[in-house]
Structure 1
Amino acid sequence: MPHALLLSGSLGQGHDVMAAACADSLHDRGWTTSTVDAMALLGRRSGAAGEAVFRRLLAIPGVYDAFHFSALRPGNRLALYTEKAAVARLAPRIKELLEREPADLVVSVFATAAGAVDALHREGRQVPPHMVFCTDVTPHRLWVHPSTDVFLVTSQAAAAGVRRYRPDAAIAVVPAPLRPAFYTPPTKQQARQEFGVPDDARCVLLMSGAWGLGPVAAAAAALGAAGVHVLAVAGRNQELEARLRAVARREPRVHAFGYSDRVPSLMTAADLVVTSSGDTCSEARAIGRRLLLLDVVPGHGRDNLQHELELGHADVTGAAPRDVVRAALAALERPTPDPSIGSVRAPWEAAFGTALSSVGLS
């Protein structure tokens, strides 16, 4: 059986979701796979330090905006130095993995991993075909390297972003893949029964990534007080989960959740999805739900937010609870979109298969 090494990164959950989608597609084609967290390969101290720095940057929007738009996008000396330090630790670990378990394909869904694989190429190491998968609408410089065989992106804008750095790059524009449960969601009535939401109630799903960015608890309380049922998801943010459960004890229209694998049902139960500008957006579009985007992710998040607005059936709001309530009440009066092309798996599978064929694999 052919074997693939998938390189993810545990900053949030989006990288892992995309890695799992690629693994599922490869398994269906008779492949075996191994998925490795590049942050863990950096070592406990380095990985934890990297996550802490990234979280801190997100908490200071102006600083992260400056780093993203002035350093990462052009790939200036600061960005390249940051990458070089991480790649120096990561590349030898990937080399060991490939020696211990030879692979026929490497798939990077994390920018630092892509740089580490490229470093092995530059050292003259034997590396199998290398595919890089980025779901951001504007891949920054550290995603794009000379030795990558094919880039997978989810929009023509992202393809243009790759060509900024490699005009001759091989690029496949693919539908964003979804977790399997999104392809077979329950009916709205079934989902509402599951969560105790009346059939005739206005209902929103409120979530902001695995880290629960922004004032989610305050927004949930304000929406509940405005008469809206709120399915509020904290992700892996345990402190936020505790605050949401406290809100739910005071306001019966707020339904609090921590990390949940029932997001397809939660989305189906809702009339509107209030979220940050991440991979949740393509999931909501596949279910056929309008988006209200929280402007809480700086840097690449601003690019992604603008792209979602251009796709339509989406609005944007500031993070202040009163702003969220006003925007949500207005959005609830607007038409519900049809499910997107991503609501069925076949287009993704066909596009992924074509990308494999482009590097001589199937």
Structure 2
Amino acid sequence: MTKKHKVLILSGDLGDGHKQAARAILETSQLYRPDVDATIVDFMEWTHPHLHSLGRFCYIQWVKNFPSVYGYLFQKTRGDNSFSHLFKKIKLFALHRMVQLLEEVQPTVVVSTFPSAAAAMSILKSQGLTDVPTVTVITDHTDHSYWIHPYTDQYLVGSEHVRNALIARHVPASRISATGIPIRPQFSQTFDRDELRSKHGLKRSRPVVLIMGGGLGMISRTFIRLLQSDPRLEPMQFIIVCGRNDKLREKLTNELKDGKHRFIVTGFVDHVHELMALSDLIITKPGGLTTSEAIALDLPMLLYKPLPGQEQDNAAFLVSAGVALQAFDEPDLFEKLTRVFQNPQILTTIKSRTKQIQTKTATFQALRTIVKTKTVVPVPRSVGRAVYAEA
């Protein structure tokens, strides 16, 4: 009988990307790897069962209302310096809760799709509390210090660009695999666009633009007003996904009833793969997961209002790779949208470039690497028992 690989996946809900990467690994293992028994645990909820909801709310409000402060701290802690060292020393979890989790699950490997979880596992190993192999899945095209920890055995990254950046930070090349960012199995499928448009009640002959503001539904009302008022665009079809922003969904539904363009406004949906597959263009914030899914489906991107930090890193990588355009304000967004549909060759060129960096098999490669990972960083043994008692 084949021994099962017991994979513990630690994720977090500060943004949807960490959770989606975890789900991608879980669903792929369930479909294609019967020798893998995977479990997802929300790291923040497990370590702070009573405070994680408040912490998430505070984080969202901070990023939404003070993005420049977030961006400043991101850049200040990007490198290996005294400031980033200070932040890494702030232990926002209880050792005994993590030890308890490992004892309950008994994993053969631990995968972190959330940077704080990767930090926690490295601290546990540094204290001799576990020697389980650890894998970190970096869910953005970034090399920020908060992902990099001394006791991580393997890093899975989205591109050679990130792999080279980690090597420049003195991470051994043997501990970095450029698998691509894991995406859920449905994004690796092939779809018939006309059939999907008919299924969703869309006209086959009219262009379709998918607008996503990220999992929190951050969509500009100024841009929506430009769409309604400017006469240069021919009649088009827009699908606006508002995520969990119910107030915005209700407001836009009421505002967009009339006009030459057709608008479909929806909240959080679980069939984004179909909406991407039937669209000609996606307007989105440059989250690591959303953009990887778009690339897998050959969908050109128009990136809008990246948050200072990892989203800016993502945007810079995607624009330099030629698979996306970036708009810097609402008028620029509208001008680029108009230019793209007045010059169809732009979309054709972008689609051809997506195939050059496309990683439809990213999750399969990631899972293969995960189950093969062994502990390569020596773990101290002498302090384990004492620290365990203290925890």
TM-score after normalising by structure 1? 0.89
In structure 1, list runs of 5 or more residues that go unmatched.
none
Q: 1:194 aligns with which of 193, 199, 219?
A: 199
Is the 8 Å Cα contact of residues 189 and 199 (structure 1) preserved in structure 2? yes
Q: Tell me the distance in 2 between the aligned counterparts of 1:355 and 1:98.
A: 17
Describe how 1:1-362 pairs up with structure 2 within 5 A. Answer: 1-27=4-30, 28-29=32-33, 30-41=35-46, 42-70=48-76, 72-85=77-90, 87-168=91-172, 170-215=175-220, 217-225=221-229, 226=233, 227-251=235-259, 253-278=262-287, 279-320=289-330, 322-332=331-341, 333=343, 334-336=346-348, 337-338=351-352, 340=355, 345-346=360-361, 348-350=363-365, 352-359=367-374
Q: Tell me the distance in 1 between the aligned counterparts of 2:53 and 2:321.
A: 35
Change (3 A) 1:44 1:221: farther
Q: Tell me the distance in 1 between the aligned counterparts of 2:119 and 2:319.
A: 31
CA RMSD, aligned part only?
Answer: 2.5
1:89 aligned counterpart, secondary structure: coil
**Shift, 1:233, TM fit:** 0.4
2:10 aligned counterpart, secondary structure: strand
Is the 8 Å Cα contact of residues 275 and 294 (structure 1) preserved in structure 2? yes
Q: Tell me the distance in 1 between the aligned counterparts of 2:99 and 2:45.
A: 15
Q: Percent identical across equivalent pairs?
A: 26
Is the 8 Å Cα contact of residues 12 and 114 (structure 2) preserved in structure 1? yes
Considering Cα pairs closer than 8 Å and 6+ residues apart, tell me whether 1 or 2 has the greater RCO: 2
TM-score after normalising by structure 2? 0.83
Is the 8 Å Cα contact of residues 185 and 264 (structure 1) preserved in structure 2? no
Deviation string 1:6-29 (CA, Å, 9 cap, x unpaired) is: 000101111111111222343432
Is the 8 Å Cα contact of residues 219 and 242 (structure 2) preserved in structure 1? no
Is the 8 Å Cα contact of residues 201 and 229 (structure 1) preserved in structure 2? yes
Q: Tell me the distance in 2 between the aligned counterparts of 1:148 and 1:40.
A: 22
**Shift, 1:63, TM fit:** 1.4
In structure 2, list runs of 5 or more residues that go unmatched.
376-391
**Shift, 1:204, TM fit:** 0.7
Is the 8 Å Cα contact of residues 7 and 111 (structure 2) preserved in structure 1? yes
Q: From the CA coordinates, give the structure whose radius of gyration is larger.
A: 2
Q: Tell me the distance in 1 between the aligned counterparts of 2:86 and 2:258.
A: 50
Q: Tell me the distance in 1 between the aligned counterparts of 2:312 and 2:361.
A: 30
- The count of residues paired between Structure 1 and Structure 2 equals 357
Change (3 A) 1:347 1:268: closer
